[in-house]
Amino acid sequence: MDADDVSPLFAPTVFSRGEAYFHEGRVRSVDAIAPGLFHGEVVGGDLYDVLVRIDDASMRCMVSCSCPFAAKGRRCKHAAAVMLAIGGMMDGDDDGDVPIRMDVYDGIRSRLASWYGAHGPLLVWDEAVVDECAKTAADTACLDEPRFPVLSEAQTGRMTESFIQSFLESDDARRDVGDAFEGASIVLDNALATADYGQALSNALLVMRIVGSSLEYVGGDGEGFDGEDLERSLGRLAWKVRLLVEKTAADEHSEMGKHVTTAAGIMGFLREGPETLGEKIGGALLSFSRRKRTRRIADEALNGLERSMTDIAAPRRSSRLYPYVCRLRHDDLLLAGEYERAAEFESHHMDDEMMAWLAATRFLLEDASDRAWEVAARYSAMGWESQVDSRPIESSPCGWTELSVALARRRGDRDALERLRRAALKGATV
Q: Interface with Zn ion by CB under 5 A: which residues?
A: 48, 65, 67, 70, 76, 78
The set of residues, in sequence order, having a beta carbon less than 8 Å from that of 128 and lying 6+ positions away, is none
What is the full DSSP assignment across 86-112? HHHHHHTTTTS-SPP-HHHHHHHHHHH
Nearer to Zn ion, 43 or 260 (CB): 43
User: In 125-273, which residue ranges form alpha helices assigned H by DSSP?
Assistant: 127-140, 153-169, 173-176, 182-193, 197-214, 227-250, 256-272
Nearer to Zn ion, 48 or 225 (CB): 48
Nearer to Zn ion, 78 or 329 (CB): 78
**Minimum distance between the CB of residue 236 and Zn ion, rounded to whole angstroms?**
53
Beta bridge partners of 61: 54
Helices (H) and strands (E) in the chain — how many of each?
Answer: 21, 4
**Minimum distance between the CB of residue 52 and Zn ion, rounded to whole angstroms?**
12
**Minimum distance between the CB of residue 44 and Zn ion, rounded to whole angstroms?**
7
Nearer to Zn ion, 82 or 249 (CB): 82
Beta bridge partners of 255: none
Nearer to Zn ion, 12 or 96 (CB): 12
What is the full DSSP assignment across 322-371? HHHHHHHHHHHHHHTT-HHHHHHHHHHTTTSHHHHHHHHHHHHHTT-HHH
Nearer to Zn ion, 52 or 420 (CB): 52
- Contact predicate 301/264, CB 8 Å: yes
Nearer to Zn ion, 76 or 200 (CB): 76
**Minimum distance between the CB of residue 81 and Zn ion, rounded to whole angstroms?**
9
**Minimum distance between the CB of residue 385 and Zn ion, rounded to whole angstroms?**
29
- Contact predicate 81/21, CB 8 Å: yes
Nearer to Zn ion, 78 or 419 (CB): 78
- Contact predicate 342/299, CB 8 Å: no
**Minimum distance between the CB of residue 48 and Zn ion, rounded to whole angstroms?**
5
**Minimum distance between the CB of residue 78 and Zn ion, rounded to whole angstroms?**
3
**Minimum distance between the CB of residue 26 and Zn ion, rounded to whole angstroms?**
11
The set of residues, in sequence order, having a beta carbon less than 8 Å from that of 209 and lying 6+ positions away, is 268, 269, 273
Distance of alpha carbon 201 from alpha carbon 192, whole angstroms: 9
